Amino acid sequence: MDMGAKPIGPYSPTRKIDNLIFCSGQIGIDGTGVLVAGGIEAETRQAFTNLTQILKNSGCTLNDIVKTTVYLTAMTDFPTMNEIYAQFFSEPYPARATIQVAALPKGAHIEIEATAMGKMG
Protein backbone atom coordinates (compact mmCIF):
# COMPACT_ATOMS: atom_id res chain seq x y z
CA MET A 1 0.00 0.00 0.00
CA ASP A 2 1.34 3.44 -0.94
CA MET A 3 1.63 5.44 2.25
CA GLY A 4 2.41 8.72 0.45
CA ALA A 5 5.02 11.10 1.79
CA LYS A 6 6.52 9.84 5.03
CA PRO A 7 6.20 12.08 8.11
CA ILE A 8 9.30 14.15 8.78
CA GLY A 9 8.79 14.07 12.54
CA PRO A 10 7.21 12.18 15.42
CA TYR A 11 3.58 12.48 14.33
CA SER A 12 0.90 10.42 12.63
CA PRO A 13 -0.30 11.36 9.13
CA THR A 14 -3.89 10.88 10.36
CA ARG A 15 -5.79 10.19 13.55
CA LYS A 16 -9.38 9.00 13.64
CA ILE A 17 -11.77 9.78 16.48
CA ASP A 18 -15.29 8.46 15.95
CA ASN A 19 -16.00 9.51 12.37
CA LEU A 20 -13.60 12.47 12.28
CA ILE A 21 -10.25 12.06 10.54
CA PHE A 22 -7.61 14.63 11.40
CA CYS A 23 -4.90 14.91 8.73
CA SER A 24 -1.52 16.31 9.70
CA GLY A 25 -0.27 19.23 7.65
CA GLN A 26 1.12 18.20 4.28
CA ILE A 27 3.89 20.06 2.51
CA GLY A 28 4.99 19.50 -1.07
CA ILE A 29 7.38 16.62 -0.45
CA ASP A 30 7.40 13.52 -2.58
CA GLY A 31 7.63 9.90 -1.41
CA THR A 32 11.39 10.26 -0.89
CA GLY A 33 10.98 13.25 1.43
CA VAL A 34 12.29 15.77 -1.09
CA LEU A 35 10.51 19.07 -1.61
CA VAL A 36 9.27 19.17 -5.22
CA ALA A 37 10.71 21.80 -7.53
CA GLY A 38 8.45 24.39 -9.11
CA GLY A 39 7.52 26.73 -6.27
CA ILE A 40 4.03 27.32 -4.91
CA GLU A 41 2.19 25.69 -7.82
CA ALA A 42 4.08 22.39 -7.72
CA GLU A 43 4.12 22.32 -3.91
CA THR A 44 0.38 22.93 -3.69
CA ARG A 45 -0.35 20.10 -6.13
CA GLN A 46 2.01 17.75 -4.25
CA ALA A 47 0.45 18.66 -0.88
CA PHE A 48 -2.94 17.68 -2.34
CA THR A 49 -1.46 14.47 -3.74
CA ASN A 50 -0.20 13.66 -0.24
CA LEU A 51 -3.57 14.51 1.35
CA THR A 52 -5.35 12.38 -1.23
CA GLN A 53 -3.16 9.38 -0.40
CA ILE A 54 -3.42 9.61 3.37
CA LEU A 55 -7.18 10.05 3.12
CA LYS A 56 -7.38 7.03 0.80
CA ASN A 57 -5.49 5.02 3.42
CA SER A 58 -8.28 6.02 5.85
CA GLY A 59 -11.06 5.07 3.44
CA CYS A 60 -11.85 8.67 2.46
CA THR A 61 -11.41 11.12 -0.41
CA LEU A 62 -10.95 14.86 -0.70
CA ASN A 63 -14.75 15.06 -0.99
CA ASP A 64 -14.94 14.01 2.69
CA ILE A 65 -12.95 17.04 3.88
CA VAL A 66 -15.02 19.48 5.92
CA LYS A 67 -12.26 21.93 7.03
CA THR A 68 -8.80 22.89 5.85
CA THR A 69 -6.13 25.18 7.16
CA VAL A 70 -3.62 26.48 4.64
CA TYR A 71 -0.31 27.93 5.81
CA LEU A 72 1.60 30.14 3.36
CA THR A 73 5.01 31.73 3.81
CA ALA A 74 3.89 34.60 1.54
CA MET A 75 0.33 35.84 1.18
CA THR A 76 1.31 36.92 -2.34
CA ASP A 77 1.05 33.18 -3.18
CA PHE A 78 -2.64 33.19 -2.21
CA PRO A 79 -4.06 33.70 -5.74
CA THR A 80 -2.02 30.79 -7.17
CA MET A 81 -2.84 28.53 -4.23
CA ASN A 82 -6.52 29.49 -4.41
CA GLU A 83 -6.71 28.71 -8.15
CA ILE A 84 -5.17 25.26 -7.65
CA TYR A 85 -7.22 24.64 -4.48
CA ALA A 86 -10.42 25.21 -6.50
CA GLN A 87 -9.39 22.42 -8.89
CA PHE A 88 -9.46 19.87 -6.06
CA PHE A 89 -12.86 20.72 -4.54
CA SER A 90 -16.42 21.37 -5.65
CA GLU A 91 -19.39 22.85 -3.81
CA PRO A 92 -20.07 22.64 -0.99
CA TYR A 93 -16.45 23.65 -0.39
CA PRO A 94 -14.77 22.83 2.91
CA ALA A 95 -14.52 25.59 5.47
CA ARG A 96 -11.03 27.09 5.29
CA ALA A 97 -8.59 29.35 7.05
CA THR A 98 -5.45 30.67 5.34
CA ILE A 99 -2.63 31.94 7.51
CA GLN A 100 0.73 33.49 6.66
CA VAL A 101 3.62 32.04 8.65
CA ALA A 102 7.30 32.95 8.91
CA ALA A 103 8.62 29.56 7.78
CA LEU A 104 7.66 25.94 7.13
CA PRO A 105 9.65 22.68 7.35
CA LYS A 106 12.17 21.99 4.56
CA GLY A 107 11.75 25.53 3.25
CA ALA A 108 8.27 24.77 1.91
CA HIS A 109 6.03 27.59 0.69
CA ILE A 110 2.74 25.91 1.70
CA GLU A 111 1.33 23.41 4.19
CA ILE A 112 -2.25 22.12 4.16
CA GLU A 113 -3.98 20.33 7.03
CA ALA A 114 -7.48 18.92 6.89
CA THR A 115 -10.32 17.40 8.88
CA ALA A 116 -12.54 14.87 7.11
CA MET A 117 -15.71 12.99 7.93
CA GLY A 118 -15.11 9.26 7.68
CA LYS A 119 -17.37 6.28 8.03
CA MET A 120 -18.37 5.15 11.51
CA GLY A 121 -16.93 1.86 12.64
pLDDT of 120 above 70:
no
pLDDT range class, residue 1, cuts 50, 70, 90 = very low
Q: What is the dihedral of CA 40, 42, 47, 50, to 10 degrees?
A: -170
User: What are the extents of the domains in the chain?
Assistant: 14-117
What's the mean pLDDT in 20-34?
Answer: 95
The fourth-level CATH superfamily of domain 14-117 is: RutC-like (3.30.1330.40)
List Cα–Cα distances, 93 to 40, 60, 66, 86, 114, in angstroms: 21, 16, 8, 9, 12
The model's pTM: 0.92
Burial class (CB in 10 A: 0-12, 13-18, 19+), 98: middle
Buried b (16+ CB within 10 A) or exposed e, 56-94: eebebebebbeebebbbbeeebeebbeebbeebeeeeeb
pLDDT range class, residue 9, cuts 50, 70, 90 = confident
Question: pLDDT (tens digit, 9 = 90+) per residue, 37-85?
Answer: 999 999 999 999 999 999 999 999 999 999 999 999 999 999 999 999 9
